[in-house]
Amino acid sequence: MYDLHTHTLLSDGELLPAELLRRMAVLGYTVVGITDHADLSNIVSILSALNRMRETAARHGVRLLTGVELTHIPPPEIASCAALAQEQGADIVVVHGESPVEPVAPGTNAAACSCPLVDILAHPGLIRESEAILAAANRVCLEITSRGGHNRTNGHVVRIAEKTGCTLVVNSDAHSPSDLMTARDRELVVRGSGLNPTECESILNINPSLPFFQEL
């Protein structure tokens, strides 16, 4: 099991990285991305802290992917922020997409989908087909999320992804212990988004062809 989008006390989460990793391990996760909210003010400090947690994660039996979620930054800054994150050792770069429940700047989805340095567009809301075509070309994954509010458009995201050939991932966007998904929770989120059992199986499990796994 994997979860590529979680938060800790390094941004607005409730848990230390070590506690998050331990709780994920107990639930059966083997790959966890910690992707705290970031902009130019804290990309460097977040990744410096997370990169010190790799050994702790391994001792809990978890492969840690260190990263950031670029959040509410102007679309023209997305590419440079993603590049900075990679320079600072990020394994994974997530962009906070145009969720229906937050005032994300218009053009964020397009900027993220146009950037090959972005790995995941989180909760992309009513993403346009033209944006998803860019995502597929640049190997930007689209997220199916369990997070309340953000998950209102999961069905739309799935339909657009199927039409354009985008890769889908399922994440919790966890901020607290109650947000963490069990194996059954993950299945319900994916099935509830309209995917059939075969499609669900491919999304629920690790896909070694994904770029952030190929780099490890």
From CA 103, how far away is CA 86, in angstroms rounded? 26
Amino acid at 205: N
CA-nearest of 20, 8, 15 to 45 is 8
From CA 148, how far away is CA 143, in angstroms rounded? 14
What is the per-residue pLDDT across 128-165, written as a single tens digit (0 to 9) for each? 999 999 999 999 999 999 999 999 999 999 999 999 99
What is the per-residue pLDDT across 66-121, written as a single tens digit (0 to 9) for each? 999 999 999 999 999 999 999 999 999 999 999 999 999 999 999 999 999 999 99
Q: Tell me how many domains the chain contains.
A: 1
- Contact present, 47 and 86 (Cβ < 8 Å): no
Give the domain extent around 151: 2-214
Rounded to two decimals, the pTM is 0.96
CA 192 to centroid of chain Cα atoms: 19
- Contact present, 124 and 103 (Cβ < 8 Å): no
- Contact present, 91 and 54 (Cβ < 8 Å): no
Amino acid at 150: H
Q: Which residue has the tokens 């640049």?
A: 138
The CATH number assigned to the domain holding 127 equals: 3.20.20.140
